[in-house]
Amino acid sequence: MEPVIQHLHTYFLFSFAVDRGEVLARHGEIWQGRYWIDGLDDWINSHLVQDSPVATSIGRWERASYTQFDLESPAYQDMIFFHPFVRRIFFDTAGIGASDNEIEALLRCYHIPLSKENKLFFLAEDRREREAELEVTDLRLFLFANGIGILAIGVEAFDIPLSKALWINEMMRKVYPSSGRQLREGRSPSKVTLSVETPYGRTNVIEAGFENSAMIGFLPPVSEVITSLLYFADYRHEEYEPVLDERAIVYSYLALDPASVPENFHKTEEYDILFSRALYVDHAGDDYRYARGFTKRLMEQQVYRRWAHQGTLYGFTSYSNVTMCFGTFDCDDHQLSEGFLIHRMFDSRYYLMAIIALFYRATLLDFAERVALVSRRLYVDFQDGRLSDANIERANYLRYEFLVFSNYWHFDELANKDEESEHFRMLSAVYDITSMKLEVEREIDKLNASLQEYYSARNTQAVNRLAFVSTILGAGAVVTGFFGMNFSSSFEKAFFAPNEHTLWLHWLAIFGVVGFCLFALGITFYLFTRNWQDYRSVLRNAQEVAPGVARKPGVRRNTKS
């Protein structure tokens, strides 16, 4: 008898990076005199409903801030488990934290309200005639001030075979195929569909295939489901790009029906095998998908077993975050009538921790790309022997943004309880956040050191030029000053009151002084014109950039800038 999943609840998390330079170039009027974060609401609402099938058939993105904070409110129950500094930074709140002394959090949360009457369904099918359809129960979008975004598509199903639940997680996470072979072999869906069911029938909102896919510049052909949901940003004009690979992150909850498995099944190795298939997002199988010894050693590091005696396991990989349990039951003093504790935690605090950890990973990957692109620009400049002001600005803004990420966004510990802290440490470990952060920090420090060496060399050259010019002008001042002395007698007769015998000396002195002055002024003019770029920035006003907007208008992040 095949195990049955009593309740499957999965969020497919798609992380992307907005090219703020491109967006500002195309929609700059929205941000006139405002910070980047303050213009996001208007950017999303500026697009006409008729331009998007999602907005027309399902609804528009709406701000989903926390507004109520009483004991029974979701905001209270979500925020209370985190440290106070995390509550200030990672929760989109309205009504608190917006005083003159404290600006709002630098993120925005949005959702598309889904009605119970008009249900939204997500269908995926492959070339092997396999398919699955689930109800979409949540559409949520997180946008951060540093340009990172996370789209969350939540789907649910009840009482389905285990094999179908595993197939759903594996196939619906695909954002684009990595090759045509994936389509032919059924390793990627050949078609995905979003449809709305109303009392009057079923209507397809989006029906997307990948047969004619091709790269867009350096970017992959992202599924139309993604691009349609992100209707406010133009993927064709590279206003954003995926941060990870062809798979969305699978954040999944699977509750096994206890009646479909033998008694004490959670104490057997078969249960570990089953969980490994869910954790590594594979099809169902009778044994581990990979070598037994290798998989078991890996699971020792990636599986959290505090509640394994009750059959509850938590697992973490770089592409999945899985919770598995047996049915629903009273968890000690946590009564089932108040809602099943494990699912409630999955859908609240652990979900928020998964979003934060993914934000860390996406930000660091974005930094890695931008460091490489800025370094390439500087490399080309160094070959010419002079760095451009625009590339120096890019490097400085990159360093500033990393400083903000390290000092404002990043925390090794988010929660104030052991279990939550242990979860986040394991999640950070599989995302390799600490080592990625150190590596990016080293690269930016090296970039900064090279700029400091460049500045030091340029400053030395400027000081040398100044010393040279000062010497020349000082010598000219001495010469002209010498003739301004109030000498009399023979000196006066020779240079200022010459007779016919000393007239030649008078004119020789005049021509000599004039020639020396012209030489000094000519040298000064030559040095200033030859090194005008070094002095131009001194004469022009510094361009102000609003806090939180590291990429200025017209400064693009991609290679075509």
Domain assignment present for 111: no
Name every residue whose Cβ is closer than 8 Å to that of residue 547 and which is 6 or more positions away in sequence: 35
Q: Are residues 366 and 410 in the same domain?
A: yes
539: which DSSP letter? H
325 found inside a domain: no
The CA distance from 310 to 307, in Å, is 6
Same domain, 395 and 449: yes
Which of these three, 453, 473, 489, is where a domain ends?
453
Task: Give the long-range contacts of residues 370-377, CB within 8 A, separation 24 or more.
Answer: 370/398, 370/557, 371/398, 371/440, 371/443, 371/444, 371/447, 373/557, 373/558, 373/559, 374/398, 374/447, 375/443, 375/447, 376/559
Asked if the structure places residue 398 within a domain, the reply is yes
Label residue 552 by pLDDT band (50, 70, 90).
very low
- Percent of the chain predicted with pLDDT > 90: 47
The confidence score (pLDDT) of residue 559 equals: 36
Residue with tokens 């009399």: 488
Co-location of 490 and 534 in the same domain: yes
pLDDT at 544: 42
Q: Give residue 270's pLDDT.
A: 94
Environment class of 337 (CB within 10 Å of its CB; exposed 0-12, middle 13-18, buried 19+) = exposed
Q: Is residue 469 part of a domain?
A: yes
Residue 549 has pLDDT above 60, yes or no: no
- Same domain membership, residue 527 and residue 464: yes
Is 475 in the same domain as 510? yes
Mean pLDDT to the nearest integer, 446-470: 78
Which of 431, 453, 475 delimits the end of a domain?
453
CA distances from 329 to 10, 203, 257, 334, 351 (A): 21, 38, 12, 9, 21
Q: How confident is the model at residue 543 (pLDDT cuts 50, 70, 90)?
A: very low
Residue 269 lies in a domain: no
Q: What is the pLDDT of residues 202-247, one digit of tens each?
A: 888 888 888 888 888 888 999 999 999 999 999 989 999 999 999 9
Asked whether residue 265 is assigned to any structural domain, the reply reads no
Task: Give the total number of structural domains in the chain.
Answer: 2
* Residue 387, in any domain of the structure: yes
Joined together, the tokens standing for residue 221 give 């052909």
pLDDT (average), residues 354-371: 94
What's the mean per-residue pLDDT of the chain? 85
Predicted model pTM = 0.85
- Domain of 485 in residue numbering reads as 459-539
The amino acid at 37? I
Residues 506 and 531 in one domain: yes
